Structure 1
Amino acid sequence: MSDLRQILSQGRKRIGLLVGAGAPLAIKVNALNRISDTGNSLIPGVEELTREALSGLTELQTTAVNALKLDLGAHANIETLLSRIRLLEQALGNTALNGLNGLGYAELGKAICREIGKVVGARLPDGPCSYTELVAWINGTLRSNPVEIFTTNYDLLFEESFERARAPYFDGFSGGSAPFFDPVTVAGDDLPPRWSRLWKLHGSIGWALESGAVVRGRGREATQLVYPDHLKYDLTQKQPYSALFERLKTFLLTPDTLLLATGFSFRDAHICAVLDEALAMNSNSAVFAFQYQSMEQETAACRLAYDRPNLTVYAADGAVVNGIPGMWRLGDSSKSWEDVRASFWGSKGAGHADGFLLGDFAHFARFCALAQATSLTRSPETFEEPLEATVPPVVP
């Protein structure tokens, strides 16, 4: 962790972030949208999102969805359901299945996406939060290369965080009235390093199809390109999704790169295929996967790490390093290092044993934000703010 802190505190290494649904799940807010340890997740996980997205359907649509859930079994969630619905939309035509024909399944897909938009359209909490801390770390160092964020989430939390900090970023779109996707700039590195890159691998709310092109800025109600699945290979003629996946591959094939995964389950077959191929081709790149659960529960990430020694998995109770699994064992340390260790090791809360904390996005973001601190001390006054940092002065 000492080496990682040093890498994070400097701006020389090419660093990327792979951010999954666990990120907003880790942020707890109250009814006033303010950070609260006793609040609810800013955006729920896949299971709760599935339940909420299906709650507003008509009786006929609910009957069709229940039949699909029975067919999908344990794999039934919002993404697998949308995939199946869109396949039926294309395949059925006028033939009815579970009470709906092709047009009926098209309307069902749109209805589900509208409900998803209501949930993932949550706004950034008032005041500092994990997203703003992460952006502060990104924006707080003079960098040789831009930080690239690859995310499967369709919310606008990163966009709001960058804009709140007045930090420039590029998300693949250009223009003012109807920003259009620009694959040429995505593929290149023409923009200055202070411009962070934000790549929405699964699409986003606010994206829309207009005149055969993908445009941005259509508001939180624009949900037709949320988890596009077959659309990313058909209607949009492989844009922008092929360009974004190619960008991920290009990033990993660049010498001396580090990709930090947080809140990502490694159950996305498309992304894992890119990671597997790129890591096999480039032994000089590395992926650090910070996983929330135990190694026994993080089987997808560990399975890939066994095959690719340049993928290191850090789970709550152990790690896979160079393809070899092992459990955490604390060694002796100095008093100063104990204060640093408290930023990545401890209890997740009452009833939890001590373990590795950086699988929690909130702890990961705080760890990054404190990377430049010259000393860390535990505050005796409050448990809510466990660490105080001393940072070096900014030299013009």
Structure 2
Amino acid sequence: MSEDKKLAKDHLIFKQGLESLFGEQESLDEGIEKIRTKLSDLTNIKNLHFLLGAGASSDAIPAMGPLIEKVTARVEDAETSNQLAAHPDKLQHSELKRQFDLVKDVSPNNLENILGTLYSKREYLKGIGQTDSLNDFLIELIESQIYSAINIDCNSTQAKLSLSLYKKLYQKLALRNKDLARVNIFTTNNDLLSETALGFLNINYNNGFSSGLARTFNPARFSYTFSRKVDPSVEKYEPLENMVYLYKLHGSISWVESDDNSFFNIKEVDVIPNMHAQDKNVLIYPTPLKQNKSLGSPYADLIREFQNKLLLQHGVLIVIGYSFSDEHINNAIYAALASNSTLSVIIFGNYHPSENLTRLTDRRIYQISGEVELSPDDGTSTKKEKIHYFNYIVNNFIPDLDRNKESEVLEEFIKSIKSLKDKK
């Protein structure tokens, strides 16, 4: 069966609540176009928010599986053995490997559970007035490996594809209609791909930090509206169009604890790619205890901003590359849906019907996933691509938000004329 004759309902998922939005005989191309049209309508709503998870940076930052392999290799290598031998407590390498193997055997594919177990042991020992140097060493080793995996050169070959996608995303979002609110980007990622892309495009962004030499955190900045003077002769201003708001819900490799006596004691620093972790970084490492750690500043402030933005009337939250494994974020979305009847949520992902928001019958929740075959321009064989991956979403679904309605109407008119001609 040719690609244009394949039925959308057999290859794609496009649901509103639990109801499929595809007709029985709609082709794959018609299905993709229906998704694109709906997204164009929804992204033209007053308040537009994005939630980007690990999937948005997966081409540059190692996924969980490869990350566990790196940690395992680091636990077993000779450098670790030398560090243990030089430790004041004369720790044994064989015992470190044994402890790591014990916790890894229970969760061989989940670094969150591994770290969570080690954190729990440390907290228990702290509660009874004891310590375990070997356990602490293992935690530091794992955290260091995670930091090193995230702290890549965003302009390197390794990050080339991811950075190009972030550039394309922000290029589409930044020049939004000035009558609509600026776009809010919420992300659980700790990398600097967003900042690098925004800087390259010369797009203004507000991430809660002040400008200047000492870039300190102040959540009040998220309530600021950045404007420009329209007419020099009168006091008339309009919001900056070339602007986005960036919220890093789990911190960043460029954040460190500060002793500068600022209100929140967090500052943003320049980061050298491939540099080792600083002792006072504010990164949240992947662990089930994230929610407890997130109760403190600046994370409580960022989650509160997330909650407040989702409560704004006439809003859309677009979820990309997020696994719904963070309960504090999930709870904020559930609470917003419960109290804000004008909020819609678009979830890109292939989730089981019993998982997260996709199990609800609420028609404000959309789910999009599936697979299509692409024919490369160079004449090589076709390849399959998942439509819920960041790459396909940015290239095919996210509309240019600065396009005016006249051009859209003209395009639709031309398509209709062409369609009529094809049917003759």
TM-score greater than 0.5 by the shorter chain: yes
Structure having the higher Rg: 2
Query: Normalized against structure 1, the TM-score is what?
Result: 0.70
How many Å apart are 1:178 and its aligned residue? 3.3
Residue in structure 1 matching 2:247, options 193, 199, 206: 199
Deviation at 1:86, TM superposition (A): 2.6
* Residue of 28, 50, 72 corresponding to 1:17: 50
Q: Kindly state the Cα deviation for residue 129 of structure 1 after the two structures are TM-superposed.
A: 1.5
> Which of 177, 186, 192 is the equivalent residue of 2:213?
177
Change over 3 Å in CA distance of 1:233–1:206 after alignment to 2: same
What letter is aligned with 2:137? E
Letter of the 2:360 counterpart? Y
User: Against the structure 1 CA distance between its residues 238 and 308, is the aligned structure 2 distance closer, same or farther, given a 3 Å change threshold?
Assistant: farther
Question: Quick check: 1:168 aligned with 2:186?
Answer: no
Q: 1:361 aligns with which of 390, 400, 403?
A: 390
Contact 2:347–2:367 (CA under 8 A) maintained in structure 1: yes
Query: Which whole-Å CA distance do the structure 2 matches of 1:209 and 1:231 have between them?
Result: 18
**Equivalent residue for 1:383?**
none
Q: Cα deviation per residue 1:167-209 (whole Å; 9 max; x = unaligned)?
A: 01111122433322102223x2434454311111111112112
Which residues in structure 2 correspond to 1:76-155 (within 5 Å)?
77-93=110-126, 101-122=131-152, 123-124=154-155, 125-126=159-160, 129-143=164-178, 144-155=180-191
Q: Could you tell me which amino acid in structure 2 is paired with residue 135 of structure 1?
A: Y
Aligned match of 1:330: none
State the SS of the aligned residue for 2:334: helix
Output the CA distance in 2 between the equivalents of 1:87 and 1:146. 41
Asked if the contact 1:232/1:240 (under 8 Å) is kept, the reply is no
Instruction: State whether structure 2 residue 77 is matched by structure 1 residue 47.
Output: no
- In 2, Cα distance between equivalents of 1:270 and 1:200: 14
Superposition deviation, residue 278 in structure 1: 1.3
2:174–2:183 contact (8 Å) kept in structure 1: no
Quote the residue 1:281 is aligned against. 339
Select which of 97, 120, 123 maps to 1:62. 97
Shift of 1:347: 5.0
Conserved? CA contact 1:252–1:278, under 8 Å = yes
Please say if residues 14 and 257 of structure 1, whose CA atoms lie closer than 8 Å, have aligned partners that are also in contact: yes
Question: Distance between the aligned counterparts of 2:62 and 2:42, measured in 1?
Answer: 32
For residue 272 of structure 1, report the CA deviation from its aligned partner: 1.3
Question: Could you say what secondary structure the match of 1:258 adopts?
Answer: strand
> What corresponds to 1:240 in structure 2?
298
Letter in 1 for 2:355: A
Q: CA RMSD in A?
A: 3.3
User: Per-residue displacement from partner, 1:194-248 (whole Å, max 9, x unpaired)?
Assistant: 43111111111121123382221152544643325658756x9711101111111
Alignment of 1:301-340 (within 5 A): 301=356, 304-306=358-360, 308-316=362-370
**Identity among equivalent pairs (%):** 22
> Unaligned 5+ residue runs, structure 1?
26-40, 318-344, 377-396
Return 5+ residue gaps in structure 2 as ranges. 1-34, 81-92, 227-238, 413-424
Residue 225 in structure 1 maps to residue 282 in structure 2 = yes
TM-score of the superposed pair, with normalisation by structure 2 = 0.66
Contact 1:20 1:152 in 2 (8 A): yes
Point out which structure has higher relative CO (alpha carbons under 8 A, 6+ apart). Answer: 2
Quickly say closer, same or farther: Cα 1:348–1:316, change in 2 above 3 A: farther
2: CA distance, partners of 1:283 / 1:370: 25
Tell me how many residue pairs correspond in the alignment. 319
Change (3 A) 1:255 1:95: closer
Q: Which amino acid aligns with 1:196?
A: V
